[in-house]
Structure 1
């Protein structure tokens, strides 16, 4: 049994074995002795501790892991032995003796020490090993042809790329190994640069004045944009939390109340039974798959929102991430399989047609109406509206209101009705059987044709988009009147060649060839214009012009009978009529 110690290294808390702690403490003490009295001693030590903390953090798999002596040895091997880096004036001319680790992998940071605006170009220059002026010129030159898009890209990079603040980050930016030697070297360079600047302050004062002014301006501008983005970021994070938690709560309620939950009369348990085409798949399994397939992304969305709102939010851990990903993947595969199975079960379409004569002739007047059943929903709308219902004998049926009514003319002497039933299945035979299973009724009494506004199917067939199309063929010369309740059922496009127009309900219509003629519709004036000398009327019958000026009066009628002109004054009247028989001119005194 080994004793563990909690330490704070570089602002991070670690659990470390006592022996490992003693070795680490001796190492850091030796490092401090190596840099005793050196310029920037405190900064060097702080950066070394921060780098060691970073390396420890990368090696830990979870927060409870205890750092052992092996991990300390690996870190010391990477950082190097302190006795190899005793500070003297010739340190930069000697070859280091330590066994250091360098993967030469550069990291992208903003170099604010050599910036003009935000240090983006300097950071890109270090990362790609290119002179930063190349990137500065590219951002400037491409601003005009891209309409300012490069400015937005620069601002975005400014926000997304972190600034190289610590010495370790500045070393990582150049791809050099982050060890004691380079940390000490970088800090010494900073102090030497500051010393040179002080010695030559008069020479640099005016040379750097413009750069400092530009930097300050863009620093203020960047600070403003950063604050603005942070505000919107917090709002976006709160939005993600709201969406994720709301979705999770809805899913939990739906899962726990499945079978008894209904909204606006929509019974979920009945609907599942109504549409389930794959009875070999347990519906509880489908429900759980749907819960995880939607719930896990909702949880991730909420977690991301919390990450935006809370800086130090604990990670859910790699193990949890792997488990959630695996469960989500399985759930998604299950739902895809269920969807494919359901799609296959309705891949074929079939129909059956029944045609019967109606004992009405062209000399009769036929009334057409839709009727409901008091045991079933009575809404008079053409729609699917599929649901389970029970008849007066308490027998269960599937009900749908997908009924289409079409009226056409025929030259036959008697009327007839054609009923086309349609359904889907996993093959032609099953689809045809479902179409045959559709129960649709109509009746004819006293020249009144009553059509059911619904169809029935057996529950065993499930709902498979069953529908019924009723086509009436009426003899030319027959008079029909459609009830107002047929309006929604014959709202058809021109493709169906339906002679019953919407708006003609409740009127007596004479059936003609491919059309109807309203027998009791009032004349509809399309245009009426009143003038000082007369009146002009344009309606369905044609053009009617009445002239009245002084002692003279006249009338011009243009309609289906031809042209009729009547001119009147105090002395005589003249009539001119032009029709299929020719031209007739008549005076009253003739």
Structure 2
């Protein structure tokens, strides 16, 4: 039987046997006496006591059977940290061997290291019995202890694991678009590990691992640079120089510095300062670090290079400190205002979520059979949607806004709300909602994974009177709730005696057979009454049919040279594809004229008033048109002339590169001619027009001038042939007159460029990014289009044999009657349409 005593070491309560207490008390008293002559001795002793408490606490947690500190435990502690007597003996040995100081010092430290390695090796051998397991290190956690557990498993400093996690989660996806989804997997993987890894409070740190801290003693801003210097053992000037130079690399150095500032802890205690240098915490190393600190001459003058390198860091520190002083008193006010804003926003979103989910469940389960439901678009989806997706969607959308509401309340009241388990539960509900929604949404998306089609050919007798094409309004009172708003029909000529209608029904499904079945669920009627052929305006779905992207494409073949007419309703609702560049006809008057199909020229008007040759050329050069949004492509900007003009003697170029905001006209001619005009002489003087290789480059010398007047600069270029056109910025460009069927043209449009291009060429390669808006006319054997961003490419009035088109983002590519569309790839909200 032994007497136990309850003691307090560094704020932690332990039970210790009486004989162990006596030895530990004598040990601490000796340490206190030894360091009493040093400046800040009380802080040194407190730090040593904290280290002792950490060792005892870790040992007690790992050995549940022994919750009392024994004499053996105290002896192990003294053996690992070293005693004052051992250290004094070492110091006497150094004094006696002063003539061989370096050698003696090496041997002395080698002895200490060997002993320590033996001790640590014994401990490691004890703790590493059996396979190594992954735990969550809840003692050193920042959130859930997952990263700290991984650091312990791989024997790394947890700071670097956290930096790698942040770089992957925040840094990599914006730089590499293909890895953007990986960020979500990393985020989800963290919480999966949180749930899978068991927690542990007994994981011991490997004292030999060097740890990264911010060096508070030698800091200029936050101590990141000096901490890195201590970690890698290099001069701090080199690290600071690298940070200064990296600012020039798109500010990556600033981002890296901020991340390290956030992640790395500050080295405040002696233990942390020694861990920063990779030194074991022994009395010998403690005393060595204290002596090194006392030898630092803080008042020593800095050389000029040091002052230059430290100036930007000190300037940032002064600015941050000044801003902090200014905002110190505004902090509570800003905090409350931000809290109010977050609460109001969260409340509004919570109401919207509840209303949406209520409407969802009402649609799915509530009012089937009602007149509104039967004629609404919800009828097409209600039978497919699993009601559970509403429950999971509610969790996925409601919980984050509820958390945001609590955050706003915390900011307002400056009080903590909810326990750790509450927030973890909220997070768990959100993850369940995300996973459930994702699984059910993926299951529904499988209904659209395959495409199928079936074709139908119908023949109608050609009437003896003039054929009239009309459309029937098959809409009901719930206008606009159909599977597809409108259908369209192409008119073609052929050698035959009857009217031939080819219909291609398309749909999607889980399998190809399912997709073909869904395509057959389309209801569409074309009927003939005497000389009138009537088309329904919209497609509908059969009863109980599910929406699977059903669509209908039709081609009506009319015998050559047989007259026919169009009603205005058919022209606008069904057809609306005739280009009347050769006729003086308003589209509203299309029903007044008679048309025929010709073998060589397609659809022509027999009795429309024709334009003269001059009128056709003027119409083609002016290029006025309206896009689908009703916005005019204003060609009047090319007209007129500025007060100031300059001619340039540039020649021997076949390509044009325009960067900036210019109004450019490019036309074909026998010789080279380049001129510019503007209402601003400064704009003319600032022009930089030069030929490099075969490229005419046009830009302003001062690209970032704030004094440049708003008057646009017009540039007119005449050249024999055009091989390449590179437009960027906010230029408006017109290209006309190039009629070489053997010529290839490469066109690049970047930014907010507007271009009207009329060319006849063999191959046209178009690469458009940003918000480019371009209209193409003329002809080409082959055209390749790659549109990215929010581009609008209108090639409906260009005759093209083969087209390869890709559109991503929110781009829209419009094609005319293309003979062969080799491939058509779209992603996002982009689309590619053709007549």
TM-score (norm. length: structure 1):
0.59
Q: Distance in 2 between matches of 1:54 and 1:428?
A: 67
Q: Distance in 1 between matches of 2:343 and 2:24?
A: 46
Q: Which has the higher contact order (CA 8 A, sep 6+)?
A: 1
1:283 pairs with 352, 377, 386, which one?
386
Q: What is residue 448 of structure 1 aligned with on the other side? A: 532
Mapped contact 1:360–1:366 kept (Cα < 8 A): no
Query: How do residues 134-153 of structure 1 correspond to structure 2 at under 5 angstroms?
Result: 135=239, 147=249, 152=254
Q: What is residue 70 of structure 1 aligned with on the other side? A: 67
SS of equivalent residue, structure 2 residue 217: helix
How far apart are residue 183 of structure 1 and its match? 4.7
Residue 418 of structure 2 corresponds to residue 419 of structure 1? no
How far apart are residue 451 of structure 1 and its match? 1.9
Q: What is residue 35 of structure 1 aligned with on the other side? A: 32
Mapped contact 2:82–2:283 kept (Cα < 8 A): no
1:218 pairs with 313, 321, 339, which one?
313
How far apart are residue 446 of structure 1 and its match? 5.1
Q: Distance in 2 between matches of 1:315 and 1:60?
A: 31
Mapped contact 1:127–1:174 kept (Cα < 8 A): yes
Q: Distance in 2 between matches of 1:312 and 1:107?
A: 34
1:274 pairs with 380, 389, 399, which one?
380
Residue 431 of structure 2 corresponds to residue 347 of structure 1? no
SS of equivalent residue, structure 2 residue 207: coil
- After superposition, the Cα gap between the structure-2 partners of 1:406 and 1:510, relative to the gap in structure 1 and judged at 3 Å, is same
- After superposition, the Cα gap between the structure-2 partners of 1:212 and 1:414, relative to the gap in structure 1 and judged at 3 Å, is closer
Query: How do residues 113-512 of structure 1 correspond to structure 2 at under 5 angstroms?
Result: 113-114=217-218, 119-132=223-236, 135=239, 147=249, 152=254, 155-156=257-258, 159-160=261-262, 161-178=264-281, 182-183=285-286, 186-187=289-290, 189-190=292-293, 192-193=294-295, 197=297, 205-206=300-301, 218-225=313-320, 250-260=352-362, 274-275=380-381, 283-292=386-395, 324=427, 328=431, 332=435, 335-336=438-439, 338-339=441-442, 342-343=445-446, 346-361=449-464, 363-377=465-479, 385-386=481-482, 399-445=483-529, 447-475=531-559, 476-484=561-569, 486-490=571-575, 505-512=590-597
TM-score (norm. length: structure 2):
0.44
Residue 513 of structure 2 corresponds to residue 516 of structure 1? no
Mapped contact 2:565–2:593 kept (Cα < 8 A): yes
Mapped contact 2:389–2:440 kept (Cα < 8 A): no
Mapped contact 1:442–1:452 kept (Cα < 8 A): yes
Q: Distance in 2 between matches of 1:375 and 1:83?
A: 92
Q: Distance in 2 between matches of 1:148 and 1:375?
A: 59
Mapped contact 2:568–2:591 kept (Cα < 8 A): yes
How far apart are residue 366 of structure 1 and its match? 1.1
Mapped contact 2:452–2:519 kept (Cα < 8 A): no
Q: Distance in 1 between matches of 2:359 and 2:25?
A: 61
- After superposition, the Cα gap between the structure-2 partners of 1:72 and 1:121, relative to the gap in structure 1 and judged at 3 Å, is farther
How far apart are residue 348 of structure 1 and its match? 3.5
Q: What is residue 105 of structure 1 aligned with on the other side? A: 209
How far apart are residue 483 of structure 1 and its match? 1.7
SS of equivalent residue, structure 1 residue 104: coil
Q: Distance in 1 between matches of 2:287 and 2:441?
A: 63
Mapped contact 1:109–1:123 kept (Cα < 8 A): yes
SS of equivalent residue, structure 1 residue 177: coil
Q: Distance in 2 between matches of 1:327 and 1:460?
A: 35
How many residue pairs get aligned? The number is 479
Q: Gaps (5+ residues) in structure 1?
A: 62-66, 380-384, 387-398, 495-499, 529-535, 541-590
Mapped contact 1:32–1:45 kept (Cα < 8 A): no
Q: Distance in 1 between matches of 2:450 and 2:295?
A: 77
Residue 187 of structure 2 corresponds to residue 84 of structure 1? no
Provide, for residues 243-274 of structure 1, a one-character-per-residue CA deviation record: whole Å limited to 9, x for no partner. Answer: 98876665455345432379xxx989976762
How far apart are residue 461 of structure 1 and its match? 2.8
Q: CA RMSD in A?
A: 6.0
SS of equivalent residue, structure 2 residue 591: coil
Mapped contact 1:350–1:422 kept (Cα < 8 A): yes
How far apart are residue 510 of structure 1 and its match? 1.8
- After superposition, the Cα gap between the structure-2 partners of 1:31 and 1:459, relative to the gap in structure 1 and judged at 3 Å, is farther
Mapped contact 2:452–2:512 kept (Cα < 8 A): yes
SS of equivalent residue, structure 1 residue 35: helix
How far apart are residue 173 of structure 1 and its match? 0.5
Mapped contact 1:352–1:436 kept (Cα < 8 A): no
Q: Which region of structure 1 is more displaced relative to structure 2, 326-335 or 164-173?
A: 326-335
Mapped contact 1:354–1:419 kept (Cα < 8 A): yes
Q: Gaps (5+ residues) in structure 2?
A: 1-5, 94-107, 121-204, 365-371, 580-584, 621-835
- After superposition, the Cα gap between the structure-2 partners of 1:472 and 1:149, relative to the gap in structure 1 and judged at 3 Å, is closer
Mapped contact 1:410–1:474 kept (Cα < 8 A): yes
Mapped contact 1:9–1:53 kept (Cα < 8 A): yes
How far apart are residue 508 of structure 1 and its match? 1.4
**Structure of greater Rg:** 1
Q: Distance in 2 between matches of 1:18 and 1:273?
A: 73
- After superposition, the Cα gap between the structure-2 partners of 1:290 and 1:445, relative to the gap in structure 1 and judged at 3 Å, is same
